[in-house]
Amino acid sequence: MRRSDPIIIGAGPAGCAAAITLAKGGARPLILERSTETGDALCGGFLSWRTIKSLERLGVSPNGHPVDHLTVFWGDRSTSAPLPERALGLSRRAMDTALLSAAVQAGAGLERGVMVRHLDDLADRTDTVFLATGKYDLKGAERPRTARDPAMGLRVRLPASAALTQLVGAAIELHMFDRGYAGIELQEDGSANICLALRKSLLTEHGRDPRGLLQSLGRSHPAFGARLDSLTDTTPIDAIAAVPYGWHARQTVPGLFRIGDQAGVIPSLAGEGNGIALASGRSAAEAFLAGGREEAPHWQARFGRQSGRPIGRATAIWHTSEFAMGRGLILLALSLFPKLGPAMASATRIEA
Ligand SMILES: Cc1cc2nc3c(=O)[nH]c(=O)nc-3n(C[C@H](O)[C@H](O)[C@H](O)COP(=O)(O)OP(=O)(O)OC[C@H]3O[C@@H](n4cnc5c(N)ncnc54)[C@H](O)[C@@H]3O)c2cc1C
């Protein structure tokens, strides 16, 4: 490997999008990935029409569960609106496997089971790094964490059943509650992905017991409870702590491209992190191919401006939904103006 060959840290959607674009553009990227096999990353698994286009531009044709409308729930009230275009429910295992295989096929190198601990560890091997470590910060390039009551994510996958197919069908469901919300949709195998974005204090109030919290939310929100019917004492629940929603990078140094969640973190379900991951990975790689390592600060500033708008709008929706009055307003606005749902969904998505 030459020192001018770029290294990508992380084989999530951002790292793979960069690897595919770099390899197709004639560079010789190497991906370093800490896990030894592709798992099912904690994610809502919702792919909008724009993210589907991004995947197709990278040569990946996603084959997921069709989603054509949004239903928003609060307590015993709900309202539905059609999506502007067809979306998909797709597990991260399926999407990440397809992306990584496209990257390797395009010519990217891959080393698995390699945990990079500090940015400086790569100084002898390359002069250009694409930082795509997603939720995890790397020493030497940490994102600021200032929230007093940080956001966190929980995810549970429930097996396919006739009851869930009938309840959820072709919807992306958003269940709002105090200090958080849950997104529910079916995935390519008919299983239901139930993903929550919430404040840490809510979990603390439930004795830091995710199962207890889900059961309690199910009791106080009957529609949500109906969807959790097959949750058992042994169903695995994944968790991710301290998600810096709303943060986005505006600057960097030559030779360091921050992509995916390392470029910006859009509130889950209100916006679409995978869309930002694919768009940033591809456009950062194009900037490198056009102008080399010196392009990093210019690209980061440009992408910061581009992603700042959808991230700001999604953050406003997230904050509004955190309070009872805000939740009432969202539900009222969506039922009075059904076109608002599709408009909001488009305004919080990044261009492919
Ligand atoms: C609760 C929740 C729900 C969500 N729902 C959705 C949704 O429905 N739709 C959507 O579009 N987005 C959703 N997102 C956001 C989405 O999951 C992220 O934006 C997306 O995963 C970012 O991709 P990435 O490639 O930047 O990082 P990741 O997908 O996190 O990938 C990072 C990769 O880097 C590797 N890595 C990390 N550290 C190191 C290291 N030091 N050395 C080597 N390798 C390393 C990891 O193993 C991983 O493979 C959700 C997020 C949360 C928290």
Bridge partners, residue 195, by sequence: 155, 183
| CA-closest candidate to residue 228, choices 175, 153, 275 | 175
Q: Walk across the sheet containing 129-131 and list its strands.
A: 109-112, 30-33, 7-9, 129-131, 256-258
* The two structure tokens encoding residue 228: 């959790």
How far is it, in rounded angstroms, from Cα 172 to Cα 71?
Answer: 6
The answer to whether the CB of 134 is under 6 A from ligand 1 is: yes
Burial string for 150-186 (b: 16+ CB within 10 Å, else e) reads ebbbbbbbbeeeeebeebbbbbbbbbbbbbbbbbbbb
- Residue 111 exposed, middle or buried by CB count within 10 Å (0-12, 13-18, 19+): exposed
Q: Residue 113: CB partners within 8 Å, gap ≥ 6?
A: 33, 34, 35, 36
**Residue 352 confidence (pLDDT):** 66
How far apart CA 217 and CA 208 sit, in angstroms, is: 14
Distance 134 CA to ligand 1 centre (A): 4
Ligand 1 and 132: CB distance under 6 A: yes
Burial class (CB in 10 A: 0-12, 13-18, 19+), 117: exposed
- Determine the pLDDT at residue 1: 72
Q: What is the pLDDT of residue 151?
A: 94
CA-atom Rg of the chain in angstroms: 20
Per-residue pLDDT of the chain (352 residues; tens, 9 = 90+): 787 899 999 999 999 999 999 999 999 999 999 999 999 999 999 999 999 999 999 999 999 999 999 999 988 899 998 998 999 999 999 999 999 999 999 999 999 999 999 999 999 999 999 999 999 999 988 898 777 899 999 999 999 999 999 999 999 999 999 999 999 999 999 999 999 999 999 999 999 999 999 999 999 999 999 999 999 999 999 999 989 999 999 999 999 999 999 999 999 878 899 999 999 999 999 999 999 999 999 999 999 999 999 999 999 999 998 888 999 888 888 888 878 877 887 788 787 6
- What CA–CA distance (Å, rounded) separates 118 from 125? 13
pLDDT value of residue 75: 83
Q: Record the pTM.
A: 0.96
Q: In this structure, are residues 193 and 184 in contact, taking their beta carbons and an 8 Å threshold?
A: yes
**Cβ(95) – ligand 1 distance below 6 Å:** no
Minimal CA–CA distance to 27: which of 257, 274, 306? Answer: 257
Does ligand 1 come within 6 angstroms of the Cβ of 33?
Answer: yes
Pair 46, 273: CB distance under 8 Å: no
What angle, 0 to 180 degrees and rounded to 10, lies between the N-to-C axes of helices 92-106 and 49-57?
20
How far apart, in Å, are the Cα atoms of 333 and each of 68, 72, 179, 327, 342?
20, 11, 20, 10, 12
Could you tell me if the CB of 274 is within 6 A of ligand 1? yes
Location of structure tokens 């996603």: 62
CA separation for the pair 194, 172 (Å, rounded): 10
Q: Is the CB of 271 under 6 A from ligand 1?
A: no
Residue 268 CB–ligand 1 contact under 6 Å: yes
Ligand 1 nearest atom to the CA of residue 262, by list position: 26
240 C-alpha to ligand 1 centroid (Å): 10
Which residues pair with residue 193 across a beta bridge? 157, 185
Residue nearest to atom 4 of ligand 1 (CA): 43
